[in-house]
Structure 1
Amino acid sequence: MARKISFDLPADETQPANEQARSSAPNRARPLLGLDRPLRQPSALGAISQSLGDISEKVKRADAIEQRLIEGQTVVELDPADVDNSFVADRMDASEEQSAAFREIIRQHGQSVPILVRPKPNEANRFEVAFGHRRLRAARELGIKVRAVVRVLTDEELVIAQGQENSGRTDLTFIERARFASRLEDRKFSRETIMAALNVDKAALSRLISIATRVPGPVIDAIGPAPAFGRIRWQELSDLLEDENNRQRALGAVQDPSFGAHESDKRFEILANALREKAVRARPEAWAATDGTHAAKVMRSGKKITLTFDDRVAPQFGDFVREQLQRLYDEYKRKGRDE
């Protein structure tokens, strides 16, 4: 299993929280710039992960991660307009019904747990979320301040905090985890960092990234989080999409306006079932002349029509038709203008 990378207090605890929040982050090499560096280094994060290893229940583990990250820190209230989402998305957009329900909980009971943010690199007086995106969104929509703990985090530390907190939640679906892993790799994070963020071993990480890259992005976007379907079903779908015809069929199907009218799980089922069905093979229809000669066969497939001539039945008839194509085309165009 991947080792967990965990979090410690900033070295200077005497500095007020609001001054810490707006101070410049240490000048470190950042993976988004394509520069590699070891994960072990002096930082705002330390060693709390060992105590998390024995927590078995996912929700308790996520709560523990949050508590350790914000333990002993001053909670400040920030204007949501000053806080940006993480530079790498981990969740797909929730439905309006889910967002409304979560927003109502915040409205009635307040925000009991603060979010974790960092001062945004190279942008004074702005912050970036490590975790708590839904709480931040609810605060924005309600027009209230968001309660937050501000800590100086590197890019790796941010995504590890973001990933470990979310990996402890039961509502982060398989495909959301897979896409999060794939996006981190696209941003040149090391496999070690991604394994720490998702709390998975090397083999599990490879499966996540493989499925996220084999299923076309527009198909994942159209299906959505599909909470009822895990690795096995997404693996089956990715296998079906190995066939180029199936890929094209899938990309066409998800663009149909009626596809988006269904719930996410239903969209997954509809597409998977459609790809399993073998396309009905088009059969040519014989064309008979008035004298009874079956001089040609006509086959329609999608938007294509194919004419087939058999010289054994009507010798050189195909050549004759080919010679008449220009005249027939001109007549077709004249008929179109007249109508």
Structure 2
Amino acid sequence: MANKNLIKRAFSVTAGLPPAHAAAGSTPSAEIAVAAPITETPSVQQNPGSEVLPSPVEGGGAPTRDVPAGAKPLTPPRTGPGSMLAFMAQESVVHKEVLQLRERVAAFDGAEIARRLDPTTIAASRWANREEAHFATDAFAKLKDEIATAGGNVQPIKVRPIADRPTGDAAPVFEIVYGHRRHRACLELGIPVLALVQQVMEDVDLFVEMERENRNREDLSAWEQGVMYMRALEQGLFPSAKQLGIAIDRDMSNISRAMALAKLPAEVVRAFGSPLNLQFRWATLLKDAHQRDPEGLLSMARDIASRQPRPAPAEVFAILTGSTTRKANGGTSQEWTDAAGKPLASLTVDKRGRVTVVFDQVLDDAQRRRLSKMLDTFVGSKT
């Protein structure tokens, strides 16, 4: 049955084709698939240097046509088996080409295409989480030098088209999903930025991708994360902090502490010199100090900000909270506490500069091994 269908298909393809020497406009006939002798007679007209095709056959046929000397006119198969073989050969070649094309297309399945964009056409996300002070750090300067040396960013940023953007040539075309530092570096260097363009992306998806991408790269400061989370909640991106934590797969305690730092008065943040100096473990005690005596905390923060030179961030924290760093036997002592203020560890330096670290909890085997590795790295030798 399959062979019959194949033969029928071959005849259907070849039967409707005119002979190679047929003139345009002649009526094709199914008889061309039948092997029949054709009487060839010289044509009356003949051009120099050309062969003469057969004259029209009585009762209708192909008119004469000049063919260049040495060229052989193409003749379709004259028999059913010949037509079938020609058709099968053609089908085999086409099928092979289709398979090759499918393999090449499959290799790019799911791939995203990166392209070079003018950084001036790209705007920061409305949830941008990089404090301006971040672009004055040594880490950013190093990143900028690397991009300049490579002639552009190797790792692409990600953008999406801005919906309902204002008209005008100067209006940004794209909004950053992630890669604010790489974009800023290219913008300052005046070179195109390599970017992936996501044509359709919801606000929630943008926020989640940006948060996770930044977490996998250089960590944001605790204060920057808090600002980012607060913006998302204030703009209704998530109905609650709990839903935000589920979406970005982060513990609620970290989210709460980050937002506690972001809610601190500007005077308190300035006392630390830069919001990047604020640490997660300080959030609870600073929050408590602000709740106990808001005016007193602000007064101390203004006094610290006016000092020259300004105290180190750890000392600022000690002054504002009044408990973590103190004098001990002529030396100094520093304490670490958990989110509830419970002591975890302390470091003491005596008069001779010798350091003692005491943990207020029992360390298990895994913790002791981690501590040992840290000390190995610190002292530059192995136990």
TM-score, length basis structure 2 = 0.47
Once the two structures are superposed, residues 70-99 of structure 1 have per-residue CA deviations (whole angstroms, 9 ceiling, x without a partner) of 961111111010000111121223225333
1:220 and 2:269 are equivalent in the alignment: yes
- Structure 1 CA distance, aligned partners of 2:261 and 2:137? 27
- Structure 1 CA distance, aligned partners of 2:154 and 2:126? 25
2:123 maps to amino acid:
D
Partner in structure 1 of residue 303 of structure 2: 253
Once the two structures are superposed, residues 214-250 of structure 1 have per-residue CA deviations (whole angstroms, 9 ceiling, x without a partner) of x2144335633445x6322232222222212333214
Contact 1:164-1:196 within 8 A present in 2 as well: no
Higher mean C-alpha displacement, 107-116 vs 136-145: 107-116
- Structure 2 CA distance, aligned partners of 1:165 and 1:141? 22
- Structure 2 CA distance, aligned partners of 1:88 and 1:221? 22
Larger Rg computed on CA atoms: 2
- Structure 2 CA distance, aligned partners of 1:221 and 1:189? 29
The Cα of 1:130 is off from its aligned counterpart by 0.8
The answer to which structure, 1 or 2, has the higher relative contact order (CA under 8 A, 6+ apart) is 1
Partner in structure 2 of residue 150 of structure 1: 197
Contact 2:267-2:298 within 8 A present in 1 as well: no
2:175 maps to amino acid:
E
Q: From the superposition, tell whether residues 71 and 225 of structure 1 become closer, same or farther in structure 2 (CA, over 3 Å).
A: farther
- Structure 2 CA distance, aligned partners of 1:240 and 1:131? 35
Q: From the superposition, tell whether residues 222 and 245 of structure 1 become closer, same or farther in structure 2 (CA, over 3 Å).
A: closer
1:182 and 2:230 are equivalent in the alignment: yes
The Cα of 1:162 is off from its aligned counterpart by 0.6
Partner in structure 2 of residue 195 of structure 1: 245
- Structure 2 CA distance, aligned partners of 1:146 and 1:183? 27
- Structure 2 CA distance, aligned partners of 1:172 and 1:96? 13
- Structure 2 CA distance, aligned partners of 1:155 and 1:122? 14
Partner in structure 2 of residue 274 of structure 1: 319
2:260 to 210, 227, 232: 210
1:169 and 2:217 are equivalent in the alignment: yes
Once the two structures are superposed, residues 32-82 of structure 1 have per-residue CA deviations (whole angstroms, 9 ceiling, x without a partner) of xxxxxxxxxxxxxxxxxxxxxxxxxxxxxxxxxxxxxx9611111110100
TM-score, length basis structure 1 = 0.52
Contact 1:163-1:197 within 8 A present in 2 as well: no
1:122 to 133, 143, 164: 164
Structure 2: state its 5+ residue gaps: 1-108, 324-383
Aligned residues: 202
2:316 maps to amino acid:
L
Contact 2:230-2:259 within 8 A present in 1 as well: yes
Higher mean C-alpha displacement, 78-87 vs 217-226: 217-226
CA RMSD of aligned residues (A): 2.9
